[in-house]
Amino acid sequence: MVLESSTKRVVIATRESRLALWQAEHVRSLLSVGLPDGAVTLLGMTTQGDQILDRALHEVGGKGLFTKELETALMDGRADLAVHSLKDVPMQLPEGFSLAAILPREDPRDAFVSPVYASFEALPAGARIGTSSLRRASLLRARFPHCEVLPLRGNLDTRLAKLDRGEFDAIVLAAAGLKRLGLADRIRAVIPPVDSLPAPGQGALGIEIRSDREDMAAMLSTLEDRDTRLAVTAERAVSRALGGSCRVPLAAFATREALGGLRLEALVASINGARIARVVLETSEETLAAAEALGEQAALALRDQGAEAILAS
């Protein structure tokens, strides 16, 4: 890989949590192959989403609180690209920005974490389960009404510390983050998608740039994983069509079929888990346009099952 003559150095904007820094360092190592030492550096930043920890994310502005400061650094030239957990990226990027590359997906499933109990089924009545996600909270309330589902904010290490202090009997986290940080041994059980359908983009990393940075787009094209791009395109299309954000208990998960094509499962749930609309659709085509259309079709099918009424509630 050769840097364009106009680009003396590549700067990656990143949040400063341990997981975010791991992700940015992972991208830095991929981009640094064949380049001089120090050609790719990190710009650590604290976002509003990292600062506001006393309220649920859906109450204070949503996913954009994790990306706004990084996008400002891209716009004013302090950084050339930003690395995000794709599930934290708003479904509609601000004008002037694009996702230049989506990397191969890590485990997209949710993980059950507890120092005492081996599974959800082992939890006693009144057990406290912590989660930061409306999606997870809704599905947990539907499956385990005898447990108390409580909000849990903070980065991954903060959440684990709260669990270890006894504030919760169990918590639910993304398996990908635990595995990336070498904490797979904290996972007591990986939750199958049939029981906890993942959030759109969960487990995938997205690289954001200014839309006019053709030099960055060309460089990052080598990191693109087409299978992951197809899957998350369908998933994010569901959420976009339903006005999805962290304010909506919505899940969408797409997989490549063995004989070709995409399979997409999506759902919308009420906050208390009492009402769930769920659909499964497939397409034999393997284009981005087909993936986008599949997601939009899933959103229409969810509406036919009463998704609008569920969301309005």
Q: Which amino acid, one-letter code, is at 134?
A: L
Task: With respect to residue 198, please indicate whether it lies within any of the assigned structural domains.
Answer: no
| Cβ-based neighbour number of residue 179 at 10 Å | 17
Token pair recorded at residue 237: 């299309």
Q: Give the CATH number, domain containing residue 249.
A: 3.30.160.40
- Residue written as tokens 């912590």? 130
Q: Are residues 127 and 242 in the same domain?
A: no
Residue 311's pLDDT band (boundaries 50, 70, 90)?
confident
Domain count, the chain: 3
Task: With respect to residue 229, please indicate whether it lies within any of the assigned structural domains.
Answer: no
What is the DSSP-derived secondary structure letter of residue 78?
Answer: S
Q: Which residues contact 39 (CB under 8 A, 6 or more apart)?
A: 3, 9, 10, 32
Q: Which residues contact 21 (CB under 8 A, 6 or more apart)?
A: 14, 15, 42, 44
Q: Are residues 252 and 287 in the same domain?
A: yes
- Give the integer Cα–Cα distance in Å for 54 and 48: 12
Q: Is 193 helix (H, G, I), strand (E, B) or coil?
A: coil
Q: Are residues 74 and 216 in the same domain?
A: yes
Q: Are residues 97 and 114 in the same domain?
A: no
Q: Are residues 36 and 177 in the same domain?
A: no
Q: Give the CATH number, domain containing residue 182.
A: 3.40.190.10
Q: Give 45-95 pLDDT, tens digit per residue.
A: 986 545 444 444 444 444 556 688 999 999 999 999 999 999 989 999 999
Q: Are residues 266 and 129 in the same domain?
A: no
Task: With respect to residue 1, please indicate whether it lies within any of the assigned structural domains.
Answer: no
- Residue written as tokens 């840097």? 3
Task: With respect to residue 3, please indicate whether it lies within any of the assigned structural domains.
Answer: no
Q: Give 259-300 pLDDT, tens digit per residue.
A: 889 999 999 999 999 999 999 999 999 999 999 999 999 999
Task: With respect to residue 88, please indicate whether it lies within any of the assigned structural domains.
Answer: yes
- Give the integer Cα–Cα distance in Å for 302 and 304: 5
Q: Give 158-174 pLDDT, tens digit per residue.
A: 999 999 999 999 999 99
Q: Which residues contact 198 (CB under 8 A, 6 or more apart)?
A: 108, 109, 110, 251, 252, 253
Range of the domain at 274: 235-312
Task: With respect to residue 303, please indicate whether it lies within any of the assigned structural domains.
Answer: yes
Catalytic residues: 88
Q: Are residues 178 and 296 in the same domain?
A: no
